[in-house]
Amino acid sequence: MKKKPVSDERLNRVIRYLAIALLTLAVVFMAVQFSDVWNWIIAAFKAVIVPVALAWIFALIMFPLIRYLEKKGIGPRGLSLAIVFVITVGIIFALFYFVTPFLVTEITNFFNDDFQTILTYLTTDLRDDFILGTDIYDRIYDYVTETDLLNTWLDETMPNLLTSLSSFMLPLLTAIAIMPILLLYYLLDYEMIGERLRSIIPQRHEKRVAELGSRLNQTVGAYIRGQLLLMLAIGTVATIVYKLIGLKYYFVFGVLVGLTNIIPYFGTILAAVPPIVYSFIAGGSPGPLLVLLVNVVLQFIEGNIFQPIIMAHQLEMHPLVIIISILFFGSLFGALGVIFASPIAASIRVFYTFFKEQRQLSLQPEGGGGEKSP
């Protein structure tokens, strides 16, 4: 059978794609040659983006409250903003004032009463309880002592950890210091900033970009507000249930459940491990099985009752997509990437759905409005 000749149109398309790929590679190559300059520019951008992004996230939480007050006739903007600001600062202050003493007391008690017991267990009693048998335990123990594995690992990790912590904390602290001022001005001129941003966009794209922006705002806003509500609820419920079952250090473990709830799937495991391990080592009441049961029930109720209603299916994604995005964005942006993996993935989905809709609209015959003629 004779082969069909390649059409000119197809050939042109292939050449065009190849040219684009080559040009992209050339740009990347050039960029790599000037990596110092790029690092300098990226650092400058980072210094701006972190506080701006934080201010934007806080604005997504606070602006609906300001709008609510204005709807109720509490205005002008300055007054409603001042009320919301004072309430927010008051809540943050109260949280620190009432919660911190509990946390400090429990952590101090842990190091005074139980830390030594746990250390003794790990070095002596663990051998008898080791699930793979005492022989395997002895071999692992000998290997670790002979190779000085733990000390080598600590020597290698600690300096890196301290460097990365300082490089992460310093911009974050600067951002936290600048953020309230940025937030104040952003909320004061919320609509005007939106209008100015819209005016930059060419007129023929303005409507579509505004629609996309509003969808992104809605998705990320819904995620942040819903997640905060869930964290608060699940943290409080876990603290009370832990106290009811008689678990020591219930406050620290409960706060841990609330904080790690921001990481989908992995957060649950991260929060459940410390109380289960503690109750296993410390013995007495409650047993590790009961603590595990409490965690499973809490997560079941949160995942099947609270989350679907609060998030309203706005961020409903396949678990695999969420896990892959956590791994990907976690490796790209570190801890912040893990925390914001879900909203970033949801935003990408918003982009994808939007462009798909636009493509479908452009393919429809003009004036038809997508309806079938009778």
Options 52, 184, 310, 321; binder of other proteins; rule CB under 8 A: 310
Chain position carrying tokens 């600062």: 89
Residue whose CB is less far from other proteins, 79 or 312: 312
d(CA 224, CA 227): 5
- Minimum distance, C-beta of residue 338 to other proteins, in the bound complex (Å): 27
The reply to whether 357 sits near other proteins by the rule CB under 8 A is: no
- Both tokens assigned to 367: 């004036």
- Both tokens assigned to 142: 């000998």
- Minimum distance, C-beta of residue 30 to other proteins, in the bound complex (Å): 48
Options 162, 312, 317, 324; binder of other proteins; rule CB under 8 A: 312
The reply to whether 198 sits near other proteins by the rule CB under 8 A is: no
DSSP letter for each residue of 162-187: HHHHHHHHHHHHHHHHHHHHHHHHHH
Residue whose CB is less far from other proteins, 24 or 218: 218
**Which residues ranging from 202 to 231 are in contact with other proteins (CB under 8 A)?**
229
The reply to whether 237 sits near other proteins by the rule CB under 8 A is: yes
Phi and psi torsions of 115, nearest 5°: -60, -45
Q: Outline where the chain has alpha helix (H).
A: 8-33, 35-71, 77-109, 115-120, 126-129, 134-147, 149-188, 190-200, 203-244, 250-260, 266-282, 288-301, 307-311, 319-333, 335-339, 341-363
The reply to whether 72 sits near other proteins by the rule CB under 8 A is: no
d(CA 80, CA 74): 6
Options 89, 240, 296, 332; binder of other proteins; rule CB under 8 A: 240
Options 227, 239, 261, 279; binder of other proteins; rule CB under 8 A: 239
Residue whose CB is less far from other proteins, 339 or 346: 346
- Minimum distance, C-beta of residue 293 to other proteins, in the bound complex (Å): 10
- Minimum distance, C-beta of residue 49 to other proteins, in the bound complex (Å): 33
**Could you tell me which stretch among 78-86, 88-96, 275-283, 308-316 binds other proteins (CB under 8 A)?**
308-316
CA 56 vs CA 75, 136, 366: distances in Å:
22, 53, 38
**Which residues ranging from 242 to 281 are in contact with other proteins (CB under 8 A)?**
243-244, 246
The total of other beta-carbon atoms located within 10 Å of residue 232's CB is: 13
Report the first-to-last Cα separation within the chain, whole angstroms.
45
Count of residues in contact with other proteins, rule CB under 8 A? 19
The reply to whether 233 sits near other proteins by the rule CB under 8 A is: yes
Binding pattern for the stretch 95-134 against other proteins, x by CB under 8 A and - elsewhere: ---x---x--------------------------------
- Minimum distance, C-beta of residue 58 to other proteins, in the bound complex (Å): 21
Options 79, 228, 309, 361; binder of other proteins; rule CB under 8 A: 309
CA 175 vs CA 56, 85, 184, 259: distances in Å:
12, 18, 14, 21
**Which residues ranging from 169 to 188 are in contact with other proteins (CB under 8 A)?**
none
d(CA 29, CA 23): 10
**Could you tell me which stretch among 206-214, 310-318, 352-360, 361-369 binds other proteins (CB under 8 A)?**
310-318
d(CA 374, CA 365): 15
Helices 149-188 & 190-200 angle (0-180, nearest 10):
100
* Binding-site ranges for other proteins (CB under 8 A): 98, 102, 229, 233, 236-237, 239-241, 243-244, 246, 305-306, 309-310, 312-313, 316
